């Protein structure tokens, strides 16, 4: 059963500005619960956030935003262009949004002047919560995906240091996969996605979050 659309922070501190993640979340191309043992050494939600951001940094996702989720948070990575196997596109094209022209070059100028680059795009969202939820919110459009990065907080509030990461908390990876067609704004959200969530995370350089076998 989905939770209420009203998200609550673990601890409210005067002066903190922390926006709510859309709740329930928009339907993703795929979702997976990450192994709990990957986060066993993290005592509180702030530490879980640090582990996730460190993993994103190592994989080249320097830009991200945080949002409030029920008894937890959501971490949003920047919308990116991907190859057919789920690996990030080459650096000069990786972070070109679906509704933008490709970087200028003789090869792409005529084809891209009035059209966005054709291809596949992805947004990765991690949700940390102890609440059950269904992904039955409004569809995530490319425009909304871009605004998620811009409108979130740059870090978790300090109050999350006092919010314990419990056995009831789960870390869920949501993948939003987009297909850009030949024509301007011809963008489709793939539900389900063409690739599985594990394939996305592995090719994105985030395989460490999938975990190995739990320690004996």
| Closest to 44 measured CA to CA, from 137, 164, 141 | 164
Q: The tokens 């933008």 sit on which residue? A: 100
Per residue in 37-94, pLDDT (tens digit) is 999 889 999 999 999 999 999 999 988 999 999 999 999 998 889 999 999 999 888 8
Reported as type and span, the H/E element at residue 76 is strand 72-77
The rounded distance, in Å, linking the Cα atoms of 84 and 66 is: 28
CB burial readout 72-108, b (16+ within 10 A) else e:
bbbbbbbbbbbeeebebbeeebebbbbeebbeeeeee
For residues 99-127, average pLDDT: 64
How is residue 18 written in tokens?
């922390």
pLDDT of residue 6: 41
How is residue 100 written in tokens?
């933008």
pLDDT of residue 5: 38
pLDDT of residue 10: 46
How is residue 24 written in tokens?
């329930």
Phi, psi of 22 (to 5 degrees): -55, 125
Domain locations in the chain as residue ranges: 30-210
pLDDT of residue 16: 66
Per residue in 5-46, pLDDT (tens digit) is 344 444 444 556 799 999 999 999 999 999 999 998 899 999
pTM, full prediction: 0.84
Per residue in 160-192, pLDDT (tens digit) is 999 999 999 999 999 999 888 877 667 888 889
Q: 137: buried, middle or exposed (CB in 10 Å: 19+, 13-18, 0-12)?
A: middle
Cα distances (angstroms) measured from residue 153 to each of 17, 76, 87, 144, 157:
8, 10, 27, 16, 9
Confidence band of 4 (pLDDT split at 50, 70, 90): very low
């Amino acid at each position: 059963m989905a939770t209420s659309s009203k998200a609550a922070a673990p601890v409210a501190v005067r002066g903190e500005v922390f926006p709510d993640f859309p709740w329930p979340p928009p339907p993703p191309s795929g979702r997976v619960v990450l192994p709990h043992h990957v986060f066993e050494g993290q005592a509180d939600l702030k530490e879980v956030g640090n582990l996730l951001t460190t993993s994103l940094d190592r994989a080249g996702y320097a830009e991200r935003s945080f949002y409030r989720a029920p008894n937890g948070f959501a971490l949003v990575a920047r919308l990116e262009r991907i190859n057919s196997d789920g690996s990030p596109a080459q650096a000069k094209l990786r972070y070109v949004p679906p509704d933008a022209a490709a970087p200028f070059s003789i090869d792409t100028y005529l084809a891209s002047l009035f059209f966005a680059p054709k291809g596949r795009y992805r947004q990765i969202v991690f949700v940390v919560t102890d609440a059950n939820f269904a992904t039955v919110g409004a569809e995530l459009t490319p425009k909304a995906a871009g605004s998620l990065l811009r409108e979130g907080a740059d870090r978790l509030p300090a109050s999350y240091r006092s919010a314990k990461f419990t056995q009831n908390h789960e870390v869920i990876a949501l993948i939003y996969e987009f297909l850009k067609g030949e024509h301007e704004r011809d963008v489709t959200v793939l539900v389900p996605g063409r690739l599985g969530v594990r394939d996305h995370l592995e090719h994105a350089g985030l395989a460490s979050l999938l975990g190995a076998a739990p320690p004996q």
